[in-house]
Chains A and B, each alone.
Chain A
Amino acid sequence: MSLLDALPTPRIRWEGQHPNVVLISLSLVMLCAFWTVDVVSLAPNRIVMGTGYGALEAFGWPGVVLITLLLSSIGLFACQPTLPHYRALLTVVVGLMALMPVGLIASGLLLIDPELPQARLGIGTAYWVVLFVLMLCLVEIRLRLNLTRLWPTLLLTGVALVWWLCAALWLDNLALVQEFRARDRQFLTAVGQHIRLVSIAVGVSVVLGLLLAMLMRRYARLQKGAFTLLNFLQTIPSLALFGLLLAPLAWLAAKVPFLAQLGVSGIGTTPALIALIAYSLLPMVRNTYIALEEVSPDTLEAAKGMGMRAGQRFWQVRLPLALPVLLEGVRITTVQAIGLTAVAALIGAGGLGTFIFQGLGQAAMDMVLLGALPILIMALVVDAGLGALAEALRPGGH
């Protein structure tokens, strides 16, 4: 064995000789989008499709030069990926994200005729593309710098605060802001309904899932049957399941007045919750079952040896050890339920889906955005939050 083999292998994480091709290509994509696609659109009122404006018209020369410089600096820094350069990249990316609403303010000042205060500024395709690619850059930088998830979350929270501030104070002409102002009560109610539906569905399926998983562990025959049934349910498209529940529930409510008094009807919360729970059960039961099964028999044996009773062993050893995998199930279930609840709006259950489908019906795209964006954000936040929690609860994974 030579001396070289005995030495620890040098960790070449950022001293990599070759440039970071990923960031360079991402930077080129953003430059292309920024220069060629519409940055903003301007519409005289709510329904008329806006006319698109390119970067030059929207930001003027100084803005275009500044943003082009910033975007190309991402590519340039990536040519020599050193540690300080990655830090600089992080700053540039986060800075660009924070600058985005400022760009909208600037284009509002440049484009909107002061005599037409009703004009609505729409966010153009280039904005969405650049925002999405900036997120990708952030992920790439996080992976290369080996940062935990906490850092990007904190930075993004800061960016979100800047956006919120700009939207509240200066972006009166932004279509999304106007749409929100016109129905802020409704919006908050919808968010509340959405969260309520999701939490009831997830809460019920956590309890049911735990019960079912425990029963399955006791009765092996139940296991196959239950998984087959739940898999079968999962295959049926949500729209179809909501639809199929409408008829029997409406019939039940009509025939049994007591149930109707309880709030059972074909349209509304009841069928939505039944369908949501039916869908949530599979991921929940599967993960709970696996989580409980995977606890090492040695540990349980040790607990037994220490004189713990069966109940104690379950509550104090098996369940805590199973918790991370169980939480993973809760995460998957919740994210799925957030999306499905949007569909439930079609059968009158309320929630943010109402905005999506009403907006689609009226061809009011800003209303669609007002419904779809919070759903997306909610799903991402829940995903990140529960993912981090599961990671923290993992034994020895602090």
Chain B
Amino acid sequence: MSDQLSVMQSRQQAPMWLWPMLWGALLLISVMGMPYAEALFRWIEPNARQVIYTRAEFYVLLGRHLLVVGVAAAVTIVVGVLAGIAVTRERGHDFLPLVGQLASLGQTFPPVAVLALAVPVLGFGTLPIMVALMLYGLLPIVRNTLTGLQEVDADIKMASHAMGMTPTQTLRQVELPLAAPVILAGIRTSVTINIATAALGATMGASNLGDPIIAGIVNGNMAYVVQGALTIALLALTVDSLFELLQRKLRSRLSTS
């Protein structure tokens, strides 16, 4: 019986690593192999003087892209989860309705508009884009933290209280683990949106994987566009499949414990 179970589990687990590995490998190949793929891109743009984007190395662009999204994500996760916790506690309860409304309203703001509005206020460059990404990425995380914490059964909280747990213990050992899948889903949404939005940052003075696309559109060079678009798409798919993996792990841990 137990053998059967483990076989089933391993059968389910086998494809778990597959997608992140596959997308990650493709991303690496495309980033490292871009300079050697001239023949391929020559086929797309037979008449162009140059078919490989060379203003910056692709791994540098990828690194910048990851840096912007990563820093923004790190800040938003900390601030967003803390804010979500704060307003669901007794003391911050007054702010709950407003924050809840704001978090759901924030989904209405188009990312392009947010990014565009950030430029007049914050200026051109990487830092303003980062700030805009932080503000924009905050709302899905806050919303999901709120939903996750509010969905924890009141009886369970009562039980942990009755067991003599302090509010902090209840939060750390009961509420947060139970809310974790929902919070993670919010982080996934936030990061996915930010990878896409950061690419648009290339039009606002931030140098990243959006650069080749914009340069290609401006110069009418399809090869550049495809190079940039392919790399961003692979990055998005890699990160998204990593989150998928994380979510599955979390879910299976919750169901077994």
Contacts and interface: CB of A to CB of B under 8 A. Distances in A.
Contact of A339 (B97, B113, B119): B113
B98 interface: yes
Nearest to A25: B95
Nearest to B197: A237
Interface stretch (A3-11, A292-300, A370-378): A370-378
Interface in A147-201: none
A246 B225 contact: yes
A320 interface: no
Contacts of A266: 222
A240 interface: yes
A241 interface: yes
Candidate in A125, A240, A360 with the most chain B CB atoms within 10 angstroms: A240
Nearest to B192: A235
B216 interface: yes
A392 to B, nearest CB: 19
A284 interface: no
Given A22-B98, A235-B192, A246-B225, A241 B112 contact: no
B229 A239 contact: yes
A376 B225 contact: no
B232 A368 contact: no
A237 B121 contact: no
Given A244-B226, A369-B117, A383-B108, A237 B196 contact: yes
A372 B118 CA distance: 10
Nearest to A234: B192
Contact of A237 (B110, B204, B232): B232
Interface stretch (B148-156, B160-168, B233-241): B233-241
A342 B101 CA distance: 25
Nearest to A353: B112
A98 B107 CA distance: 26
Contact of B95 (A22, A244, A335): A22
A143 interface: yes
Contacts of B237: 232, 235-236
A254 to B, nearest CB: 11
Contacts of A244: 225-226, 229-230, 233
* Main DSSP-derived SS at the A contact region: helix
B48 interface: no
A247 B230 CA distance: 12
A27 interface: no
Given A139-B101, A143-B98, A376-B110, A239 B116 contact: no
Contacts of A346: 203, 214, 217
B193 to A, nearest CB: 9
A236 B233 CA distance: 5
A373 B61 CA distance: 30
Nearest to A139: B101
A128 interface: yes
A125 B232 CA distance: 33
A128 B98 contact: no
A237 to B, nearest CB: 3
A176 B107 CA distance: 26
Contacts of B192: 235
Nearest to A237: B196
A247 B236 contact: no
Nearest to B227: A243
A356 B112 contact: yes
Nearest to B201: A239
Contact of B213 (A239, A339, A360, A379): A239
Interface string A333-376: 00110111011001100000100110111010100110111011
A265 interface: no
Given A21-B94, A369-B120, A247 B232 contact: no
Contacts of A363: 124
A20 interface: yes
Q: Which 8 A-B pairs have the closest CB atoms?
A: A339-B110, A243-B229, A237-B196, A365-B120, A372-B116, A240-B229, A240-B232, A342-B112
Given A244-B229, A346-B214, A368-B116, 8 more contacts: A140-B98, A243-B213, A266-B222, A343-B112, A356-B113, A368-B120, A372-B116, A375-B113
Interface of B: 44, 94-95, 97-98, 101-102, 105, 107-113, 116-117, 119-121, 124, 192, 195-196, 199-200, 203-204, 210, 213-214, 216-217, 222, 225-226, 228-230, 232-233, 236-237, 240
